[in-house]
């Protein structure tokens, strides 16, 4: 079974007061809110679908708020502490002829509006956070992609330089080999010329003697 509109409003106002109790303990509206909560709890007793456990929980939470704020106004539902009355409520033997409570609609609407504003602000903050996270992720992806391209181009350039170096080294080695062969033939020719000249010189000297 779903919650009634009255119980939903009670829960919203209760949550609102608990939040204010943590952050705004000097708010002058607390006593009016507490009175409204107690009246709404009294009204909940008239609804047969409301469990005693839920009412006791609401009562305990309201008492905790009053204790935290130091409010000592008399409670409107001390009768819940009487086990006989609780038994009568469970058996349906108690006459529910309490007067119609008066709920401050303006304050209740203010609480509901405040609660809705908090939810809206949280939603906007989550959307803004998601948007920022998405933008940062896209920026990081672009940077990573750019760095990857730079590394890839550097590796390609390095490979090309290595190939060019190997080619030039091969050419230099071949050139050196050819130059060495050329100088070897030149030295052989010089040695041969010297040898022939020596032989001719020796013959000339022998004839003159």
Three-state SS at 34: helix
pLDDT given for residue 96 in this prediction: 44
Identify whether the C-beta of residue 14 lies closer than 8 Å to the C-beta of residue 55. Answer: no
Tokens 């022939």 locate to 196
CA dihedral 70, 75, 81, 82 (to 10 degrees): 150
pLDDT (tens digit, 9 = 90+) per residue, 107-117? Answer: 677 778 887 88
Tokens 């779903």 locate to 2
Distance CA 122, CA 190 (A): 100
Q: Where are the domains of the chain?
A: 5-103, 121-209
pLDDT given for residue 155 in this prediction: 87
Higher pLDDT, 146 or 13: 146
pLDDT band at 121 (very low <50, low <70, confident <90, very high): confident
Higher pLDDT, 89 or 162: 162
């Amino acid at each position: 079974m779903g919650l009634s509109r009255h119980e939903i409003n009670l829960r919203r106002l209760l949550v609102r007061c608990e939040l204010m109790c943590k952050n705004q303990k000097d708010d002058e509206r607390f006593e009016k809110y507490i009175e409204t909560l107690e009246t709404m709890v009294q009204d909940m007793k008239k609804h047969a679908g409301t469990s005693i456990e839920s009412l006791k929980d609401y009562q305990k939470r309201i008492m905790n708020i009053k204790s935290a704020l130091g409010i000592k106004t008399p409670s409107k539902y001390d009768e819940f502490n009487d086990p006989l009355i609780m038994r009568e409520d469970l058996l349906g033997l108690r006459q529910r002829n309490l007067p119609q409570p008066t709920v401050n609609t303006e304050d209740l609407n203010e609480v509901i509006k405040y609660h809705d504003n908090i939810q809206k602000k949280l939603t906007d903050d989550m959307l803004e956070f998601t948007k920022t996270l998405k933008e940062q992720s896209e920026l990081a992806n672009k940077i990573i992609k750019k760095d990857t391209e730079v590394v890839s181009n550097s590796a390609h350039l390095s490979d090309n330089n290595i190939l060019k170096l190997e080619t030039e080294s091969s050419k230099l080695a071949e050139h050196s080999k050819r130059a060495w062969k050329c100088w070897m033939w030149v030295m052989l020719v010089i040695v041969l010329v010297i040898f022939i000249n020596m032989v001719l010189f020796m013959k000339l000297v022998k004839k003159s003697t």
